[in-house]
Chain A
Amino acid sequence: MPLFPRWTNTVSRLSGVILLALPAVAIAGLMIVVRSTWGTKQDREVVQPIEFDHRHHVGDEGIDCRYCHYTVEKSPYPGMPSTTICMSCHAQVWNKSPLLSLVREYYFKDRPIPWNSVHNLPDYVYFNHAIHVNKGVGCVTCHGRVDQMALVNQAAPLSMGWCVDCHRNPEPQLRPVEFITSMTWKPDPSVDRQRLGAQLAQQYNVHTRISCDTCHR
């Protein structure tokens, strides 16, 4: 009577193959996960203390981004609107709306509104809004169609690779600064995108750097 029955041949070879394949599969899986929208947090829904609807303000009312995010052109930070800015309209408009009761409460108590940050870079990354906005990188390029978002969510992966890709070849992303905040601007199809980009890069003297100290300090 032999030690092992015949079927063990198949089993043993199969298990051998699996043993080798397992780590490979695991590593591949991890790589896929970090690239997935879950890994990049793009699918994460961030609920805000106040139901602020960008669709309404940007889309319907067509308010320029810079009206609220007022320091985006001169500061690394886009500038979150101070409650005063909300009230500047909502003192007259909807000044009784229950939706805005919290805003009024914060305002009259002179307390800041604790917004939840959506685009959250690691703290060792120094992204500067001012330079990008001044050199023709539009809001929509990174933040997506905010005018169509009820609840703002992260549009781009914001991975280093994603940043570097653009820094290596910015031209296709550039647009005339007068349309910087436009959500709908499309380059005139007749002109070649790359050419237009190159021309803008010339005009705004864009030269992107990929040295580490560009973002890490």
Chain B
Amino acid sequence: MAAEHAAAADAADSLDTAPLMLGKQDNTTLTGNLLAHVWARPDKGWLLSFLIALSGSGALALAITVTLVEGIGAWGNNIPVGWAFDITNFVWWIGIGHAGTLISAILFLFQQRWRTAINRFSEAMTIFAVMCAGLFPLLHTGRPWFAYFMFPYPSTLQMWPQFKSPLIWDVFAVSTYFTVSLLFWYLGLIPDLASLRDASKSTLQRKVYGIFALGWRGSGRHWHNYKVGYLLLAGLSTPLVVSVHTIVSFDFAVSLIPGWHTTIFPPYFVAGAVFSGFAMVMSWMVPARHFLGLKHVITMRHLENMNKIILATGMLVSYGYLMEHFIAWYSGNQFEWFVFFNRATGPYRGVYYLMLFCNVLTPQIFWFKRARTSIPIMFIASILVNVGMWCERFVIIVTSLHRDFLPASWDMYYPTWVDITLFLGTIGFFSTLFLLFLKFIPAVAVSEVKELNEELQHRPAPITVVTGA
């Protein structure tokens, strides 16, 4: 028994290039500095960025109001381009959310130790990203006040939703995804909330955190069930996260529009989602670990691993592009082929080439360790990848629609200020929530890190997740 464990540990070691935790930590010190940023009064930097983010949310509110009062006509959409920025943003945000679940669930199942430091952070991101994403399916409808038609409830019309439509699948997938992520996140949060409750000096804080901590007292009998529940939720989230982006890709794959009607979409969308998700985590983590003083728990090892994943998924995405084009040519379907020809030579080619640059070329730099371990490079690269993935969705949606089967119906799409404000607004909204999260909730999973610390000090084995005798 012990022998196996040791072996497993060594195996893990051989890969461990950099340490997962810097310096000698014990539970007391960890409690001290992991919670420190919660006690600290908000500094200038935080306030400034929060102000900016808040104004972003304001812009979002304005854009939403205009859309509701004016109608979708306030956007640039038209016939044939019925979807544009709206669905582009939706897919982009949903994709970003995926990294969180991937890190917290999949890496958990694979018992990746390095996940512990970053999972809380990325789960939060998931939830906020899905909130931003969820806005668009609602907003993009012409009559959002009738959106409840999409829910299966017994109406006096005796009408039901139409379950063959991928949009309905979306409704179920996104709402399920949001609910499950929220539960998963909160469940993981309970011990830390308790920790906050009991570590705090002010009674008000104690009471507030106390309410959310539900009276957690670290009971062994609780841990007994808790571990299993957490594991199962992780187990469920894993296929869920895959299903969500698969279903999102069905929005396109199930249609018959050339450029959409493609069987490769599900895997290629999921890869893209993880790709952009990790990039987004990176873009936030680099500054966060610096400003919140978490360098000792979020080490270069973490960042490097993430860069490796970015590289890997980047390659998957590039393969996706390659296949799309190949099949379009190989199918001999003139409509299909024209779409890809048009992407590269048509009026939107700029976006297309930007996409290729950001998604295919940029990640290649992570073949080099120096790049993988250089803070500025990985930061810039992560931003570029986010841009690139947005472009990808734009290319897929708009260039496929604006020139499809009958040339007489072809037309152009140009965004209006409302389109752009909506997009930037969601970024502001996302940042607002995220900054609040960083301020009031420990950015790393305290109890898990403590456990990891324990592991690392007398390294008996990787975290055991098997229960019972």
Contacts and interface: CB of A to CB of B under 8 A. Distances in A.
Contact of B154 (A31, A159, A160): A31
Interface class of chain A by DSSP = helix
B96 to A, nearest CB: 28
B157 A159 contact: yes
A91 B155 CA distance: 50
Interface string B356-395: 0000000000000000000000000000000000000000
B158 A160 contact: yes
A149 interface: no
A12 B154 CA distance: 33
B207 interface: yes
B215 A4 contact: yes
Contact of A3 (B154, B210, B214): B210
A192 B214 CA distance: 65
B206 interface: yes
B402 interface: no
Interface string B132-170: 000000000000000000000111111100000000000
A9 B157 CA distance: 44
Interface string A144-158: 000000000000010
Contact of A31 (B153, B157, B158, B159): B153
A161 B158 contact: yes
Interface in B4-51: none
B197 to A, nearest CB: 7
Contacts of B206: 3
Q: Interface residue tally of chain B, by bracket?
A: 10 to 19
Nearest to B207: A3
Contact of B210 (A4, A27, A157): A4
Interface in A130-167: 157, 159-161, 164
Nearest to B197: A3
Nearest to B213: A3
A47 interface: no
Nearest to A164: B158
A167 B203 CA distance: 67
A34 interface: yes
A66 interface: no
Contacts of A161: 155-158
A159 B154 CA distance: 13
Interface string B57-85: 00000000000000000000000000000
A3 B206 CA distance: 8
Given A3-B197, A4-B215, A159 B210 contact: no
Contact of B157 (A4, A12, A27, A160): A160
A27 B153 contact: yes
A159 B158 CA distance: 9
A33 to B, nearest CB: 11
Contact of A160 (B153, B156, B197): B156
Interface string B113-136: 000000000000000000000000
B156 A35 contact: yes
Contacts of B153: 27, 31
Nearest to B211: A12
Contacts of A12: 211, 214-215
Nearest to A16: B214
A130 to B, nearest CB: 25
Contacts of A27: 153
Contacts of B210: 3-4
Residue in B154, B158, B206, B210 with the greatest tally of chain A CB atoms within 10 Å: B158
A34 B197 contact: no
B217 to A, nearest CB: 11
A158 to B, nearest CB: 10
Contacts of A164: 158
A114 B207 CA distance: 66
B207 A159 contact: no
Contacts of B159: 160
B208 to A, nearest CB: 11
Interface string A23-63: 00001000100110000000000000000000000000000
Contacts of B154: 31
Contacts of A35: 156
Contacts of B215: 4, 9, 12
Nearest to B158: A161
Contacts of B214: 12
A34 B156 contact: yes
Contacts of A159: 156-157
Interface of B: 153-159, 197, 203, 206-207, 210-211, 214-215
Leading 4 A-B pairs by shortest Cβ distance: A159-B156, A160-B157, A161-B158, A161-B156
Given A3-B197, A3-B203, A159-B157, 16 more contacts: A3-B206, A9-B215, A12-B211, A12-B214, A12-B215, A27-B153, A31-B153, A31-B154, A34-B156, A35-B156, A160-B156, A160-B157, A160-B158, A160-B159, A161-B157, A161-B158
16 contacts: A3-B197, A3-B206, A3-B207, A3-B210, A4-B215, A9-B215, A12-B214, A12-B215, A27-B153, A31-B153, A34-B156, A157-B156, A159-B156, A159-B157, A160-B157, A161-B156
